[in-house]
Structure 1
């Protein structure tokens, strides 16, 4: 049974989410503030976190960043904030998806299913090299970049780099096809399939985060290259 941690202070919304997800056969734990959320994260080790951005003891974006520092668990932000800047801030803080209130429970369930599925099992897309993908992919250039596909981890010069599952999927796809240009639509489909909403801007944010983690000079990347007007490619 997959475990869901809900960090939501509104009693009505929190109870509604808990009841619905319990009926969908999830094991649900709820926290009403950020401090409780961090404690439950360690105690429960959930498969996904549903995070409200407006909490009584801390800003949800800061909490998202704190969770990402200690865990790669998928984070789905569920918020009343609808501005594009709020979405971007959440993605930059490490969120994997963003759902605005009000929302349909069916959409929520679809997004949770997609996030958990892709975090547990690497996406198999038409762009993937084959079903017989090796356990490790090693790239050499000015840096030694290793992808451990079984453990879903990235190492740069033998140093572990923490990535979200979305960042890992982008990195896996690019590294498996060096020199091939992927447009944003292809990357969106690789991340989510067709059952969750992701914007072009979200892809750009994930690429920016990856560059910060693997490049010596993120503003002048040598590996994750922009192909202007098209998309991105990986060079060794």
Structure 2
């Protein structure tokens, strides 16, 4: 279940209700604001992951609100405009908005754009540093009583026995071990797996993770190591300890 918090800023209560129902149907936590004052009050009290911002807010200007938010925050912003407001859409993107939705909109478009913007915002944080990747890649990694020798493509299970792993399984495991406790979208996983001897696709990623779970999870039906983050992707939730290969 997603714990992402989304702030809907619109002075029309019907639009706010429509967006709230749409986003809550995909398990997002939704807050509402009708003007600049209520927007900033919520941003002060809540850790919001995304804002949908109508550009026409009566006495307040959505563009000015976006500018002021950008002075102190990098939270993703999706602006909401009328079909004919081409100039406002362009200016909105120039002041730092991440995407836009035009009225009238379909709920499926809203969800698609929200998911896409959240994925993009996460990708700036998911890649390990060059030093971290080098350190993990050169040594052995211990997690949940198992040890992976990344340089030898070997995994010792909880009994100390060699686990049966395909090259695809091990490369997927390596990506997770190099990015512990980082949420990674399917797109990001595919990027990290490029250059391998198999061509990952969206469904391939899901199937590969399902197979990997069977080999490393204590209970694959209730995974604790590789967790699904609804609407975004996956996260390796276990602590890892890096050592030298033996």
Structural mapping, 1:146-157, within 5 Å: none
Cα 1:91/1:18, change in 2 over 3 Å: same
Which ranges in structure 1 are unaligned for 5 or more consecutive residues?
A: 125-130, 137-149, 151-236
Please give the alpha-carbon distance, in whole angstroms, between the structure 1 residues aligned to 2:17 and 2:66: 21
- Over 4 Å off, 4+ runs: none
Cα contact 2:66–2:97 (8 A) shared by 1: yes
SS in 2 for 1:28: strand
Aligned residue in 2 for 1:93: 95
TM-score where L is the length of structure 1? 0.51
Please give the alpha-carbon distance, in whole angstroms, between the structure 2 residues aligned to 1:40 and 1:132: 32
Please give the alpha-carbon distance, in whole angstroms, between the structure 1 residues aligned to 2:37 and 2:56: 13
Please give the alpha-carbon distance, in whole angstroms, between the structure 1 residues aligned to 2:79 and 2:55: 7
Please give the alpha-carbon distance, in whole angstroms, between the structure 2 residues aligned to 1:69 and 1:81: 28
The structural deviation recorded for 1:132 is 7.0
Encode CA deviations 1:39-72: one digit per residue, 9 max, x unaligned. Answer: 1112112100000001133111000001111110
Encode CA deviations 1:93-128: one digit per residue, 9 max, x unaligned. Answer: 11111111111111110110111111122399xxxx
Aligned residue in 1 for 2:80: 78
Aligned residue in 2 for 1:134: 130
Cα 1:133/1:30, change in 2 over 3 Å: same
Aligned residue in 2 for 1:172: none
Please give the alpha-carbon distance, in whole angstroms, between the structure 1 residues aligned to 2:128 and 2:92: 35
Please give the alpha-carbon distance, in whole angstroms, between the structure 1 residues aligned to 2:131 and 2:35: 40
Please give the alpha-carbon distance, in whole angstroms, between the structure 2 residues aligned to 1:117 and 1:133: 19
- Higher radius of gyration, 1 or 2: 2
The structural deviation recorded for 1:84 is 2.6
SS in 1 for 2:30: strand
User: Of residues 50, 61, 64 in structure 2, which corresponds to 1:62?
Assistant: 64
Which ranges in structure 2 are unaligned for 5 or more consecutive residues?
A: 133-178, 180-246
Cα 1:135/1:121, change in 2 over 3 Å: farther
Please give the alpha-carbon distance, in whole angstroms, between the structure 2 residues aligned to 1:66 and 1:123: 24
Aligned residue in 1 for 2:44: 42
Structural mapping, 1:157-176, within 5 Å: none
TM-score where L is the length of structure 2? 0.49
Please give the alpha-carbon distance, in whole angstroms, between the structure 1 residues aligned to 2:131 and 2:13: 45
SS in 2 for 1:25: coil
Encode CA deviations 1:176-211: one digit per residue, 9 max, x unaligned. Answer: xxxxxxxxxxxxxxxxxxxxxxxxxxxxxxxxxxxx
SS in 1 for 2:60: coil
The structural deviation recorded for 1:8 is 0.7
Cα contact 2:81–2:88 (8 A) shared by 1: no
